A and B are shown apart, each in its own frame.
Chain A
């Protein structure tokens, strides 16, 4: 076992840190520490400009192969980048869906034409993407999508009809990747297609969802005869599920340490508050604070195991627990923050519903254990795939 990064990686860390220190200043001072979960809809233009700045420095899409403009950065280097980015207070990446989801999918499954058309915009921080997966009746049961795609021979275009939901940044994005049913007779994961759809067209309507935080990061997206070109389907009609699932394999925990840096910042704010307001003297709260500390440290060690193993494709049990682990931990941290705030936890910054950072975190963490696979679904996956217990019946 070895717990340190190589000298070469540490040099890379130095490079990242010094670039960020030199560039996350001046006009970008205002985005420092902003745009994270619960704050994703804020300072959009400034954060888009920041994406272009990142590109100037060669810091977008670093994990992409060099031939597509990336750096072919190793897993370790991507981890380091994310960690230093978070440490420096880099704003929530408005380009992350294009960089980590759409781009890698197009690189892996897309045509040469699609690569030429879409990858440069992502790389340059000029074109942004959103994800069209979930629907009102396709949440955990993602294969139950109802949105339909029909090929219109006359116009030579695909026509898409249906509704997507929980689409973050939809109103700020140029494109959406959409799973839709190409075979109207099909059910489940068969008969789906994976489409690249421009958002700026008459057939696409975006409606914000007001959340329990009073803010609207998420949206509903309605497709009414929305169109895309014949060449804008990734893979063949009917292969959409394979393409969509391939996407899940692209992320091997490179963002985990960066995410944990944000958690650490929140935790530090709670400790500071507890010392100031006397909560640190309350024995029950002291123990919960220590428990949160234990949980966050173990989260880091667990990520280090995730990053070290799995190169041989073996089942990584430590990776299978990760979503359930961090989401549950973070949700508990939200509750702890309110209990440390005590009587002040109810008092808002301002009317009509302006939350402070910890209040926003508290409410927002209620979504952590739901999106990206609910805790219940995570437990099913662990029991079935890791422990070999019988599968739930699936329609």
Chain B
């Protein structure tokens, strides 16, 4: 058993870390997060051209690097540490995953090379306060002679106001739950699509609201079989949950690291406050959260990899994703919250970065289901004899 990164995976992680330490500084994050797009387009271009990150798990036949989910997670963990402001999550962990799971060969051959070339993408499915499962889809589609017409609205769409390409879920009128759902891919500037940026408490990741009014798409926009995409949507969301958990583990670790660094400098009563046991014990609890979260994440990463590539663990995806998302959500919030407390007064200022982690912890906790949501999902499986859907 080798439940640890290979040398190649370590190299990918370390390269990502070195690059992010240089480009995703506190100043850079603060400059990017106050813009409406939420990222520096020149930096994103550099990432796409020099680092080729957008192509990490796109198969080589479509021009990608052909690496797996573990490599992706190793990289995402570092992005979480450095609060990297970019359309990486939306494009790679929502858009690419949706295409890998649901698109046919022809669609992959059309869209994946566009993403490799630098186009951004995202996934829209949820309606206002409708939850995070496939039954939150309220937008509808209807068939026409040469394609489909989409109607309805989406909320909480990551980078929805800036993405080039949209993958959207819609349902047959009258259908419920996982039934009747289809996925479509379309350019974001299609006629009838209006997009509105939603200002958010966590400014490091952007959300938007999309309204679809009589949006006509060709038959070739349909991913998979009409009305049969419910399970695929769940798989896409679970893959995204693992990606979010990676971001969270990175942030959980960094919240601990910057806090301990401060505790080692700050003096009160003639000694560094890191020497007080009340402080040390809190820091020890924070390390426990970071390590246990990492264990949950790496297991989920292996499962996600097999979910995409095939393997005996593939059918554990929903459980592993819920375990990782539930634990890492609370771990991140715990560490960022403890961080503010341990920083003391300066932790409450805008100047110190711990507040940025505190806000990102909450937004990542909410997105795609908080700990309570995932515990209930697991409870249904454990106690009601349901499969975790």
Chain A positions near chain B (C-beta within 8 angstroms): 1-5, 76, 271, 274-275, 280, 286-287, 289-291, 293-294, 297-298, 301-302, 304-305, 307-309, 317-318, 320-321, 324-325, 376, 378-380, 382-384, 386-390, 392
- What CA separation (Å) do A366 and B229 show in the bound complex? 49
CB distance from B357 to the nearest CB of A (A): 17
- What CA separation (Å) do A280 and B384 show in the bound complex? 8
**Interface residues contributed by chain B, number (CB under 8 Å):** 47
- What CA separation (Å) do A277 and B280 show in the bound complex? 43
Chain B positions near chain A (C-beta within 8 angstroms): 1-6, 9, 70, 256, 260, 263-264, 271-272, 274-275, 277, 279-281, 283-285, 287-288, 291-292, 294-296, 298-299, 301-302, 313, 323, 326-327, 372, 374-376, 378-379, 382-384
Chain B residues with Cβ below 8 Å from A380 are 277, 280-281, 284
Main secondary structure of the interface of B (DSSP, over half): helix
Known: A286-B383, A301-B296. 20 other contacts (CB 8 A): A1-B2, A1-B302, A3-B1, A3-B313, A275-B383, A280-B383, A287-B372, A290-B374, A293-B323, A294-B375, A298-B292, A301-B299, A302-B295, A307-B3, A309-B4, A376-B281, A379-B280, A379-B284, A379-B285, A389-B264
CB distance from B269 to the nearest CB of A (A): 13
B376 and A286 form a contact (CB under 8 A): yes
Count the A-B residue pairs with Cβ separation under 8 angstroms: how many?
144
Chain A residues with Cβ below 8 Å from B70 are 1
A3 and B295 form a contact (CB under 8 A): no
- What CA separation (Å) do A287 and B260 show in the bound complex? 32
Checking A1, A5, A294, A390 against B323 with a beta-carbon cut-off of 8 angstroms, the contacting residue is: A294
A2 and B379 form a contact (CB under 8 A): no
- What CA separation (Å) do A298 and B294 show in the bound complex? 9
A298 and B327 form a contact (CB under 8 A): yes
Checking A376, A378, A389 against B275 with a beta-carbon cut-off of 8 angstroms, the contacting residue is: A389
Checking B4, B271, B283, B292 against A383 with a beta-carbon cut-off of 8 angstroms, the contacting residue is: B283
CB distance from A13 to the nearest CB of B (A): 12
- What CA separation (Å) do A287 and B322 show in the bound complex? 13
Q: Which of A287, A290, A307, A392 has the most CB of B within 10 A?
A: A290
Q: Which residue of A lies closest to B313 (CB)?
A: A3
Q: Which residue of A lies closest to B256 (CB)?
A: A387
Q: Which of B3, B287, B372, B379 has the most CB of A within 10 A?
A: B3
Checking B1, B260, B301 against A389 with a beta-carbon cut-off of 8 angstroms, the contacting residue is: B260
A293 and B298 form a contact (CB under 8 A): no
Q: A271-B383, A290-B382, A317-B287 are in contact. Are A325 and B292 (CB under 8 A)?
A: yes
Q: Can you give 28 contacting A-B residue pairs, CB < 8 Å? A: A1-B2, A1-B5, A1-B6, A1-B9, A2-B2, A3-B3, A274-B383, A280-B384, A287-B375, A287-B376, A291-B326, A294-B326, A294-B375, A297-B296, A298-B327, A301-B295, A302-B292, A305-B3, A308-B1, A308-B2, A309-B4, A318-B291, A321-B287, A325-B292, A378-B284, A380-B284, A388-B264, A390-B271
A298 and B296 form a contact (CB under 8 A): yes
- What CA separation (Å) do A384 and B264 show in the bound complex? 12
Chain B residues with Cβ below 8 Å from A318 are 291, 294-295
CB distance from B208 to the nearest CB of A (A): 32
Q: A1-B2, A1-B6 are in contact. Are A389 and B372 (CB under 8 A)?
A: no
Chain A residues with Cβ below 8 Å from B326 are 290-291, 294
CB distance from B109 to the nearest CB of A (A): 30
B327 and A387 form a contact (CB under 8 A): no
A3 and B260 form a contact (CB under 8 A): no
A384 and B280 form a contact (CB under 8 A): yes
Q: Which residue of B lies closest to A292 (CB)?
A: B382
Minimum-distance CB pairs A-B, first 10: A383-B280, A379-B284, A290-B375, A382-B284, A390-B275, A302-B295, A301-B295, A280-B383, A286-B379, A301-B299
Checking B281, B298, B383 against A289 with a beta-carbon cut-off of 8 angstroms, the contacting residue is: B383
Chain B residues with Cβ below 8 Å from A5 are 1
A308 and B284 form a contact (CB under 8 A): no
Q: Which residue of B lies closest to A386 (CB)?
A: B287
B3 and A304 form a contact (CB under 8 A): yes
- What CA separation (Å) do A85 and B301 show in the bound complex? 30
- What CA separation (Å) do A317 and B274 show in the bound complex? 19
Chain A residues with Cβ below 8 Å from B271 are 390
Checking A291, A302, A307 against B375 with a beta-carbon cut-off of 8 angstroms, the contacting residue is: A291
CB distance from A156 to the nearest CB of B (A): 48
CB distance from B301 to the nearest CB of A (A): 7
Q: Which residue of B lies closest to A329 (CB)?
A: B292
- What CA separation (Å) do A61 and B323 show in the bound complex? 36
- What CA separation (Å) do A247 and B301 show in the bound complex? 35
Q: A1-B6, A4-B1 are in contact. Are A290 and B287 (CB under 8 A)?
A: no
Q: Which of A274, A298, A384 has the most CB of B within 10 A?
A: A298
Chain A residues with Cβ below 8 Å from B327 are 294, 298
Chain B residues with Cβ below 8 Å from A321 are 287-288, 291-292
Q: A298-B323, A325-B288, A389-B260 are in contact. Are A289 and B379 (CB under 8 A)?
A: yes
B382 and A289 form a contact (CB under 8 A): yes
CB distance from B308 to the nearest CB of A (A): 15
Chain B residues with Cβ below 8 Å from A392 are 277
CB distance from A331 to the nearest CB of B (A): 14
B284 and A302 form a contact (CB under 8 A): no
- What CA separation (Å) do A390 and B327 show in the bound complex? 29
CB distance from A300 to the nearest CB of B (A): 8
- What CA separation (Å) do A275 and B287 show in the bound complex? 35
CB distance from B372 to the nearest CB of A (A): 7
Q: A286-B376, A321-B288, A325-B288 are in contact. Are A301 and B298 (CB under 8 A)?
A: yes
B260 and A1 form a contact (CB under 8 A): no
Chain A residues with Cβ below 8 Å from B383 are 271, 274-275, 280, 286, 289
Q: Which of A301, A305, A320 has the most CB of B within 10 A?
A: A301
